[in-house]
Each structure stands twice: as C-alpha cells, then as structure tokens.
Amino acid sequence: AQRVTQPEKLLSVFKGAPVELKCNYSYSGSPELFWYVQYSRQRLQLLLRHISRESIKGFTADLNKGETSFHLKKPFAQEEDSAMYYCALSTTGFQKLVFGTGTRLLVSP
Amino acid sequence: GAGVSQSPSNKVTEKGKDVELRCDPISGHTALYWYRQSLGQGLEFLIYFQGNSAPDKSGLPSDRFSAERTGGSVSTLTIQRTQQEDSAVYLCASSEWSYEQYFGPGTRLTVT
C-alpha cells in the first residue's frame, strides 16, 4: 500500500532562513508526487508537482527515488509562506491522492 | 468562475443520526473526489467518481458511508448512524479527468 510520511508536525523558522519540509513515501512503482498548501482560512491548493519540475513561489522539490523522498525547499522563507503543507502521492496522475499528515510552517519576522 | 462549493459548512449532529453532505463541483469537471480529514490525520481518500464509470469506493471506511453523483454533477455523501469517530472535515474536490484537483472549503462534521 502507498504511504506518505511527513515527520514534522510543526516547523518554525525566522524570515529569510532556509526551509526544508520533509516528505518520504513508500510505493514500489513510479509514483507522482505533489505538494499542496493550505493558507489560513483558504482552500487546499496545489503548490507543485514533481513532473512539472518548476519553482512556485520560490519553492522547489526534487523527487529522489533512491531515498523515496520529495522534500520541499525554499532558500529564503517569507512570512506569507506560513501555512499547512501536505505532501501527496498518486499512482495514476491526480487520481486517488494519498496524503501525509501535513507540516505547519510558521515563519516569524 | 465559481469554484467547488460544499454545504453545509458546519454540521453538528447527535450520535446515531444520519447526515448528508453536499458537493457542487466546478462545471464541466468529470471527476469528483471525497476526502476526510480527521484531527491529527492527513487527508484520507474516501470515494472517486469519473464520468459514467463505476465509482471507486475503496476508501469508504464502513458500509455506513455511501455517496452518489447525480447527472454527473452534484454529489452527496451520506453517513448513516453517525458515530463520534466520524467527526472530521469532509473535503470534496473536482477535476477535468485526471488533471489538477480543485478543493472545496469543506464541511466540518461534529458528532456529539
């Protein structure tokens, strides 16, 4: 069965500091990995997907199949990055997403 | 255009009662998903509708849970004989086939 693990419930950093939100997955095939974000009082929305290989709002994530990881990184955190971040996996495109438990990122001034 | 809408936004019910949660997907989206977010848990897949195909019900936790999608649009998630462990935020999402899922605001269900 597929599983996504986000080991940190809370990550607290100061503005301008680098950020890395960890995500590990278990799946024997070739998954698609995603990061979703939920800002306060807003809906869950897609931040980025690994096959796009793009940077959104300064965030990047690289799929490491050897380590089965898909960590989310940003070199300089901003206060507006404070939100709940969920890593998700799919075995068939966007269908049936399997989510991690989420990491709350708090960026302090 | 309008996004995914869900109603009610909050529902408080007594243990043992039945509840219905509604989802209005984005017009034209063929796929519709229900997820559940319990306290301290990640989002848990419940059920998936795609066009006229039989729904994927593999995530429904028990036979007290059911869902239907009428006319390929609006969906209703029904929970019969609610239990306290059913308390959660129920999220609906829709997408064009297998493309990006757009989420609704959720329905917060509290079973007392």
- Using one digit for the tens of pLDDT, what is the confidence trace for B53-107? 889 999 999 999 999 998 879 999 999 999 999 999 999 999 987 788 999 999 9
The Cβ-side half-sphere exposure at B40, using a 13 Å CA radius, reads 1
- Which two structure tokens, joined as six digits, stand for A100? 């991690």
Which amino acid is it at B64? R
Residue B59 sits at φ, ψ, to 5 deg, of -95, -5
pLDDT band, very low/low/confident/very high, at A61 (cuts 50, 70, 90): very high
Predicted confidence at residue B33, as pLDDT, reads 95
DSSP code of residue A64: B
Cα of A91 to nearest chain B Cα, Å: 11
List, in order, residues 6 or more apart from A23 with CB less than 8 Å away: A4, A5, A6, A33, A35, A61, A69, A70, A71, A72, A87, A100
Residue among B30, B59, B48, B45 at smallest CA distance from B90: B45
Query: B12 CB near a chain A CB, below 8 Å?
Result: no
> What is the rounded average pLDDT for all residues in chain A?
92
The CA distance from B38 to the nearest CA of chain A, in Å, is 10
pLDDT in tens, A38-55: 999 999 999 998 877 788
